[in-house]
Amino acid sequence: MFALLLCRLPGSVRAQQREPENASPPGFDLGSLFDRSGSIWQYSPDKLREVVPAAHFTLMAGAQDEISAVSTDPHLAFASIPIMETTARFISGELQEMILYVYNQGDAGNMNRKVFDNIVADSQKRLSDNLKTKPSPVITGNRPTGAVLESCSWAAPPYRVDLEWGYTRSRIVSGTRFPARTEYIRIRATPFDAANDPRRILSGSALKSDRADLSARQLTGHVARHKNGDVLINGIPMVDQGEKGYCVVATAERIFRYYAVDIDQHELAQLARTSAAGGTNPQIMLDVLRKTASTLGIQVREHYRLQERELERLIDRYDRAARRARIRGIDPEAINSLSDLYDQMNLPILKQVRLTPRSAFTRFIGDVREKIQAGIPLAWSVMLGKVAESERVLQTGPHMRLIIGYNDHDSEVIYSDSWGDRHALKRMDPGNAWTITLGLFTLEPR
């Protein structure tokens, strides 16, 4: 039973399933901003929000001098193609690219493959008609886990437009069989670069080639030491997972973008076989990241994971402590998930048991201090809803977040959730932090 409980990490709130409303008339066509002058590439985030106020773009901090403007307004379109999610990325205040999701599995649920292929074909036709040019040949890339990414491109100076779509074949991953499913369809608009003209591309791979080639000096250069005692990593971008169970892949995207690797939560969800309902199994995620490590230039280090034997010992020690305190112990018949188990536990007794002996807690704090000082954020798997937090959490149960700093003077762990800028920097007592810890790992440049 305990092995079953541990494989259910971490989940999230289920987003309401819907398919892209391709028959719906758009409220604003973002393609109209891409005129022959190319003036959109001088847009600032405020200018974009001024020109398209109905999109309700939300600004989120990115890596270094990057800012993202994100909209999930359902009435946007591009070249008359309905769009369900739009991200505009700015560097030094100027627009660098716009990524528009026609469909993604996390928000809309799985789509019939025939419908999916029809939307791809329709998008190709609409883009060709709008840009008045033909696309490059389709490029196909296959990843080790059955994930397939295909793309084609249009050269329409001063723009380059890419249509990218991903799907996953039926596959067995870490002993679990996953059915075939559709993943995403997106449009990427960037400035035209004559040195990277898609009309010259006759063959190749749609796989990303970006690598996290960062030196130790570059990483430590992001570490700031403040007068109040904060030791904090700067420049970690925010990603908002929305209502999807994408906390693991959203956390991973933030780390990759901090390392200047261009990959997003939807691509990572495809690799990790994430479900918007059930989240991502962290062990599968680790296995996938290890398989793609050489491509992405990273190595995965697992510092701690609550495993079956340790969980059994925790339950036994908790029951003995509960008897001594003359309170009710754990009822195994009432446990169907890890959340059910933690819900039964009295917090002061759970904290006492987790902190005795203190060796594991000491290692946890040591790992946090060592990695933060090296400029490396830590992916932190926790049980939400067990301890009070400074901001209202958007879910309860297993969850993954980032540790981005610490403060020895005030005895705090500094962390961040992928729920938007309001959750970018939060603090917790280290004892409470260890009490809710389910796992801790880092993705590090090789």
> Mapping DSSP to helix (H, G, I), strand (E, B) and coil, where does residue 59 land?
strand
For the chain, the domains span 12-200, 216-307+350-445
* CATH architecture for the domain at 216-307+350-445: Alpha-Beta Complex (3.90)
Report the phi/psi class of residue 275: left, alpha or beta, with left for phi > 0 and alpha for psi in -120 to 50.
beta
**pLDDT less than 70: residues of the chain:** 1-26, 63-64, 143-146, 173-174, 176, 199-213, 243-245, 270-295
Q: How far apart are the first and last CA of the chain?
A: 37
60 within 8 A of 238, measured Cβ to Cβ: yes
Query: 3-state DSSP call for residue 361?
Result: helix
Backbone angles phi, psi at 394, to 5 degrees: -95, 5
Per-residue pLDDT of 417-434, as tens digits, reads 988 888 889 999 999 999
* Residue-level pLDDT at 66: 83
CA dist., res. 413 & res. 159, Å (int): 45
pTM of the complete model beyond 0.75:
no
Distance CA(442)–CA(380), nearest Å, equals 9
Tell me if 60 sits within 8 A of 237, measured CB to CB.
yes
Helix (H, G, I), strand (E, B) or coil at 96: strand
Phi and psi (nearest 5°) for 224?
-110, 135
* Residue 310 CB contacts under 8 Å (≥ 6 apart), including other chains: none
Closest CA to 259 of 212, 224, 329: 212
User: How far is residue 334's CA from residue 64's CA, in Å, rounded to a whole number?
Assistant: 48
Task: Judge contact between 77 and 23, C-beta under 8 A.
Answer: no
Question: What per-residue confidence (pLDDT) applies to 87?
Answer: 92
Q: Where are the alpha helices (DSSP H) in 221-260?
A: 247-258
CA-to-CA dists, residue 375 to 113, 339, 386, 405, 445, angstroms: 43, 32, 29, 9, 11
Position 3 scores a pLDDT of: 43
Tokens representing 90 are: 């700015």
Among 262, 292, 279, 233, residue whose Cα is nearest residue 415 = 233
Q: What is the structure's pLDDT at 185?
A: 95
How far is it, in rounded angstroms, from Cα 192 to Cα 292? 29
